Amino acid sequence: MKLYTTLHTCALAVDVVAREIGIAPQRIWVDVRAKKLRDGSDLHRINPKGQVPALETDDGQVLTEAAVIIQYLCDRHGADGLLPRSLDMDRYRVLEWMNFLGSELHKSFTPLFRANTPPDYRSIAIGNVQRRLAWLDEVLATRDYLHGARFTAADAHCHAIVMWAELQAIDLAQWPRLHTYVQRIEARPSVQAARAAERAELARCAAA
């Protein structure tokens, strides 16, 4: 398998889930702004949407969208702890969280990464993000992870998105329970390894 990835995207969640499962897809770093792979080839030939993550399976098929790739990896490798099996209500609770993360939290951040977002709208976008993060902080008052007492695929997805707050100078310390939750996830070996891979790629780009 090949995982097409880049820095500071939901691809981090896929990488973390793969490491949790114990599989090691070949990681191919992509310049999403230029829509180019490291060898100069066009990203669109892998994913016509020009985005990451994308997963190329061993039989040559390509899956896109982080939540779908995560489901595939968990189902393919029997990672019931990360995503329970079909017809188990716990599965749908985890997927419910992942849908919220992809459709609400992710999209709240999106205007902050666009160069053409009007300055006047930036404060509105930050407010939208802060409201979502404050709500997560409230949820975490009663649990250690999004779906209760154990880490699931939804937590990998949540961590990857919440960490974008750092890029926007939004201090997570103002939400103590969310901050502690992020630190708890950061302590996982899978997350430490995935973040280390990102730092190594960042260093490579800086030296290039």
Cα separation, 74 vs 56, in Å, equals 15
Segment 37-60 shows an average pLDDT of 95
pLDDT at 9: 95
Query: Is residue 20 within 8 Å of residue 45, measured between CB atoms?
Result: no
Provide the sign of the torsion angle of the four alpha carbons 148, 150, 152, 158, taken in this order: positive
At 127 the pLDDT is 97
Q: Do 95 and 63 belong together in one domain?
A: no
What is the rounded CA–CA span in Å between residue 65 and residue 72? 11
| β-bridge partners, 36 | 31, 42
How confident is the model over 102-157, as pLDDT tens digits? 999 999 999 999 999 999 999 999 999 999 999 999 999 999 999 989 999 999 99
Domain that residue 6 falls in = 2-80+193-207
Same domain, 123 and 163: yes
**Domain match, 53 and 122 both:** no
β-partners of residue 145 are 148
pLDDT digits (tens, 9 = 90+) for 56-87: 999 999 999 999 999 999 999 999 999 999 88
The number of domains in the chain is 2
Angle in degrees, 0-180, between the axes of helices 176-186 and 189-207, rounded to the nearest 10: 80
- What is the per-residue pLDDT across 154-176, written as a single tens digit (0 to 9) for each? 999 999 999 999 999 999 999 99
* pLDDT for residue 141: 96
If one counts every other C-beta atom within 10 angstroms of the C-beta of residue 136, the result is 20
* 201 and 175 fall within a common domain: no
My answer on whether 141 and 198 are in the same domain is: no
Q: Does 207 have pLDDT greater than 90?
A: no
pLDDT beyond 80 at 208: no
Q: Are residues 9 and 54 in the same domain?
A: yes
Q: What is the CATH number of the domain that holds 128?
A: 1.20.1050.10
pLDDT value of position 206? 85
Q: Are residues 161 and 139 in the same domain?
A: yes
pLDDT band with cut points at 50, 70 and 90 for residue 47? very high
- Residue 25, preceding bond cis, omega within 30 degrees? no
Average pLDDT, integer, range 8-20: 97
